[in-house]
Chain A
């Protein structure tokens, strides 16, 4: 049994396109039939990963593109594949955030990828054809 492609878009890695990327992810998750809470969690994970790419992937060069593909794999499992052609970077290896329970000491930042990984267990990174590829499986 082969998978099904739901959507495929490629746009510049800029915040102004976040809404379009997220809309494609939400539409795909709705098409798959996830419950509202799960769709919200998928949206959050996708936003955090995309924003991370917008901020870091092309910092040493002209801003490139991000490609977002959604669909199901051969086992009918939902996936989102987010790729960029920026510098090799595995955001999943970033330091865990500061979860200190003291307001004055707690650092601001590092939360995004942590939230994505807490909400979606199966997120993997690989580098292929000079691309950083993050695959979210739900």
Chain B
């Protein structure tokens, strides 16, 4: 799992790559929580490089989204593809969150 964050156009963009499973999810959770604290307007989670996610990773995403909602700030999932997108769909997450095809289109939404 690789994690990175940047400020772009007033948004915090977190990119997560590789594999988020039960073993790596706690590190992802800690990182995302820190970035959620920093976000003043919008948090975009870019997942185009994500190969695998299990329910532990979904819980991290949901916790971050709840936190952003409490702060009345925007939360967008970007770059979902293939097998990973299918997991989000089954979990009902695609109708739960704002979703953008790419990081660029997410930035245009804000």
Cross-chain contact A15 with B92 (CB below 8 angstroms) = no
Q: Which residues of B contact A37 (CB under 8 A)?
A: 82-83
8 Å CB contact of A111 from B55, B66, B83: B55
Cross-chain contact B90 with A51 (CB below 8 angstroms) = no
8 Å CB contact of B96 from A15, A19, A43, A106: A106
How would residues 30 to 69 of chain B score, 1 for a CB under 8 Å from any chain A CB and 0 otherwise? 0000000000000000000000101110110011011001
Number of interface residues of B (CB under 8 A): 24
Nearest-neighbour CB distance to chain A for B1, whole angstroms, equals 13
Cross-chain contact B90 with A119 (CB below 8 angstroms) = yes
How would residues 68 to 94 of chain B score, 1 for a CB under 8 Å from any chain A CB and 0 otherwise? 011000000000001100010011100
Tell me if A93 is interfacial: C-beta within 8 Å of chain B.
no
Cross-chain contact B83 with A41 (CB below 8 angstroms) = yes
Question: What range describes how many residues of A lie at the interface?
Answer: 20 to 34
Cross-chain contact A111 with B91 (CB below 8 angstroms) = yes
Give the residue name and chain of the A residue nearest to B84 (CB).
A40
Tell me if A87 is interfacial: C-beta within 8 Å of chain B.
no
Q: Which residues of B contact A (CB under 8 A)?
A: 21-23, 52, 54-56, 58-59, 62-63, 65-66, 69-70, 82-83, 87, 90-92, 95-97
Q: Which residues of A contact B (CB under 8 A)?
A: 15, 18-19, 22, 37, 40-41, 43-44, 47-48, 51, 97, 99, 101-104, 106, 108-109, 111-112, 114-115, 118-119
A-B contact pairs, 19 of them (CB 8 A): A15-B22, A15-B23, A18-B21, A22-B21, A41-B83, A47-B21, A48-B54, A51-B54, A99-B91, A101-B96, A103-B62, A103-B65, A103-B66, A104-B69, A104-B70, A108-B59, A108-B63, A114-B90, A115-B54
